[in-house]
A and B are shown apart, each in its own frame.
Chain A
């Protein structure tokens, strides 16, 4: 098996034992990136020399006898919203083209300290707003399963990079499903930790009460290892949870669902769901029962209005957060010819620097927050948010985890929903409730839809700080399905 096809855990072990060097592993991935990027376009920035230098440092630390963690020397790709002081950070936007942050995000810093080697920065929907990566100012990313399809979004570069074996691990952020949906449609694992379980410091903000950094990997254990490596309390993020990181690696090793109570969310399924998605989901429910889990149907009535509530709350927060792009302190400045006022320069810069989806959401958020509309829109959406959290609380009295399809459909065609915002928003239908309530939720592959042969994701939702349950159930499903398939789902993807 070539280095690029190995798991992160195996690569870490090979590097630790001295069988391969971190430099060799980095070079193998850089070669893969050079070979497939013309087709996939997952990366916005790759700098081989910076990557190899980091790998050399890990090899030197190892040679000096330093005790490094399980992922030391393993390459990683970061979504281009995590600030990196040695690489540009654009958030997929023209307004930040060429910007070099003067500091590292906490996630970036912790992973550097753990010895992970950064391959580059991955593509995304501008400011993480979208479900397809088509809203990037730097071109769309292609799904490795079918290059005419979207890789999901907003973290579509990160999902595609891992699915295309360009990186064994990557980071993403999940505000309404931006890790789980791309993971589902590219046949990999993606986890949204409990809100506040991973630090937002140095993550370019979209909707601060929802944004949650999390891991992508090709298997559940690798995701758990990455999750553990960057999580934990951070004094630099005032919404960071001051509690121990749930023992997710141990849970991924446990992989046992016997006696576990699993709730199927009644509201997610039926009209609007692709038959092949529902077929794989129902098979997985039967599989869980056969493995000794007790399955119940659970109703969460407020989930029906989660999507409209989200599309009021997230744009409201974004309209406020993106006010910082004022053309004064960093980023693009347009029209500063000595005749225009600061305010005119600001408005011209923002009009040229932001793409259509970002503008739509800023205007929508400004509307929802304006006097006269506040109570009907933002205020009412916040009440719905309370009801959704109550639905989760009631459900978790009855069951240990909730499950649903991750997305209503498999990867759609590039261009299909590009100028139909509402159709695009539907991709987040099943993932949004966990963001509004702050719960942990994971997507793991559960098969290919019959209609199009494309990956389907199973979503597993757990209570706040119950992240370990997502990994436990995810690992059990993965183990049983891979035994049935005779390998990973991704091994069935056409070669690039």
Chain B
């Protein structure tokens, strides 16, 4: 049985905002099936009582003083934007036609 189907890969691609071509989907589905089969080996480890680690170091809640510091100017912040209008990022429409 395959670990992941082509339909699942297509669904994940949609969730990931990747407009994949059909050939790409075929290719990735086959490769991901092999990769998931291999990484599933983590399940062989008995770890029921083991706490998970999300991080290498025990650092939590790092704060800095709440003070005003220099930051990017609007021009700098917009300097790499694909499209700009009136000192703001110009983006494609975000609502559907029917909205």
Using a CB–CB cutoff of 8 Å, the interface residues on chain A facing chain B are 99-103, 195-196, 209-210, 235, 238-239, 241, 302, 305, 308-309, 311-312, 319, 323, 326-333, 336, 338, 340-348, 350-351, 354, 356, 359-360, 362-364, 366-368, 370, 376-377, 379-387, 389, 421-422, 435-438, 464
Nearest chain B residue, comparing its CB with the CB of A98: B80
Nearest chain A residue, comparing its CB with the CB of B61: A238
Q: Given A100-B79, A366-B16, A421-B35, answer yes or no on A209-B96 (Cβ-Cβ < 8 Å).
A: no
Nearest chain A residue, comparing its CB with the CB of B79: A102
Nearest chain A residue, comparing its CB with the CB of B21: A351
Using a CB–CB cutoff of 8 Å, the interface residues on chain B facing chain A are 4, 8-9, 12-21, 24, 27-28, 31-32, 34-36, 38-45, 47, 50-57, 59, 62, 64, 72, 76-77, 79-83, 89, 91-96
Q: Which residues of B contact A309 (CB under 8 A)?
A: 39, 42
A305 x B35 contact (CB < 8 A): no
Q: Given A319-B16, A341-B93, A341-B94, answer yes or no on A360-B83 (Cβ-Cβ < 8 Å).
A: no
A-B contact count (CB 8 A): 186
- From A302, A347, A364, A368, give the contact of B18 (CB < 8 A): A347
A351 x B53 contact (CB < 8 A): no
A239 x B57 contact (CB < 8 A): yes
* Nearest CB in chain B: distance from A243 CB, A: 10
Q: Which residues of A contact B82 (CB under 8 A)?
A: 327-328, 330-333, 336
Alpha-carbon separation in the docked complex, A150 to B72 (Å) = 39
* Nearest CB in chain A: distance from B17 CB, A: 5
- From A302, A360, A370, give the contact of B45 (CB < 8 A): A302
- From B9, B19, B72, give the contact of A102 (CB < 8 A): B72
A341 x B96 contact (CB < 8 A): yes
B52 x A379 contact (CB < 8 A): yes
Q: Given A364-B32, A364-B36, A380-B45, answer yes or no on A99-B57 (Cβ-Cβ < 8 Å).
A: no
* Nearest CB in chain A: distance from B9 CB, A: 6
Alpha-carbon separation in the docked complex, A417 to B12 (Å) = 25
Q: Which residues of A contact B39 (CB under 8 A)?
A: 308-309, 311-312, 364, 368, 377, 381
A363 x B12 contact (CB < 8 A): yes
- From B17, B28, B31, B38, give the contact of A343 (CB < 8 A): B17
Nearest chain B residue, comparing its CB with the CB of A208: B55
Q: Given A328-B82, A333-B82, A379-B52, answer yes or no on A308-B16 (Cβ-Cβ < 8 Å).
A: no
Apart from the given pairs A311-B38, A328-B82, 12 other A-B contacts in the complex at a CB distance below 8 Å: A100-B79, A308-B41, A312-B39, A332-B82, A342-B94, A347-B18, A347-B19, A360-B28, A363-B9, A363-B28, A380-B47, A422-B38
- From A312, A327, A344, give the contact of B42 (CB < 8 A): A312
Q: Which residues of B contact A341 (CB under 8 A)?
A: 92-96
A209 x B54 contact (CB < 8 A): yes
Nearest chain A residue, comparing its CB with the CB of B13: A363
Q: Which residues of B contact A363 (CB under 8 A)?
A: 9, 12-13, 16, 18, 28, 32
Q: Given A332-B82, A347-B19, answer yes or no on A421-B31 (Cβ-Cβ < 8 Å).
A: yes
B50 x A377 contact (CB < 8 A): no
A464 x B57 contact (CB < 8 A): yes
